[in-house]
Amino acid sequence: MEHDEKRKDKRTVIIPIRRANEKVEKKSSDMSAEDISLQEMEDRWRRALADFDNYRKRCEREMQGTREDERARVLASMLPVLDSIENALKASKDYDHPIVKGVESIYKLMKQILSSYGVEKIEAEKMLFDPNWHEVVGTVANPQLPDGFVWEVVQKGYKLGDRMLRPAKVIVVKNYENNNQNKQG
């Protein structure tokens, strides 16, 4: 009987301990689930923050690109005015006339303004044709020069950094006789 009582006493002690352990384990798993949920929410928050930062940077790049495009468009729209002033100066006969002097001052000012914004003339004279910067508007035969040599610049080209505002319109050397002889030989 004594043995049964000891067993009963053990059960009365063990059962509450088991129940307490189960409760602790349940609380622990609940806390673990809360920790996981909190960690998951924190990860989502960090991802959303990173996504927003990437979005902000992309918007800034797009805005910068739009500003550069507009700047190039405005500067390119000034080039025909520069051409007209240059043509007026070439056509004038009396270089000492006050109006010609005034037009010359305007021309210099216009070139300074364009230069201050980074506009540069595209080199085309006395060089080989470059399709990236030149546009062929005519050809001329000259056996003393190689094919593709820029014979004459019809209209100056301009660039803004690496961006072309307007290609240089050129007449290039094209030797048809040399090409025919090369094909036959």
pLDDT at residue 181, as a whole number: 52
Structure tokens that stand for 89 in this block: 């100066």
pLDDT above 70: residue 86:
yes
In the chain, domain spans: 121-185
pLDDT at residue 38, as a whole number: 84
DSSP-derived secondary structure for 107-141:
HHHHHHHHHHTTEEEEP-TTSB--TTTEEEEEEE-
pLDDT above 90: residue 121:
yes
Place of tokens 């991802």: 47
pLDDT at residue 185, as a whole number: 46
Q: In terms of pTM, does the model score above 0.75?
A: no
Mean pLDDT of 174-179: 71
More confident of the two residues 18 and 158 = 158
For the chain, percent of residues with pLDDT exceeding 70: 76
For domain 121-185, the CATH architecture is: Roll (2.30)
3-state secondary structure of 94: coil
Place of tokens 């990236």: 132
Q: Convert the pLDDT of each residue in 18-70 to its tens digit.
A: 676 676 666 666 656 666 788 888 899 999 999 999 999 999 999 999 999 99
Residue 36 is classified by DSSP as H
Which residues, in sequence order, are bridge partners of residue 163? 160
Which residues, in sequence order, are bridge partners of residue 164? 159
pLDDT above 80: residue 11:
no
Mean pLDDT (the chain) is 85
pLDDT at residue 87, as a whole number: 93
pLDDT at residue 184, as a whole number: 47
pLDDT above 60: residue 178:
no
Separation CA 70–CA 61 (nearest Å)? 14
pLDDT above 80: residue 108:
yes
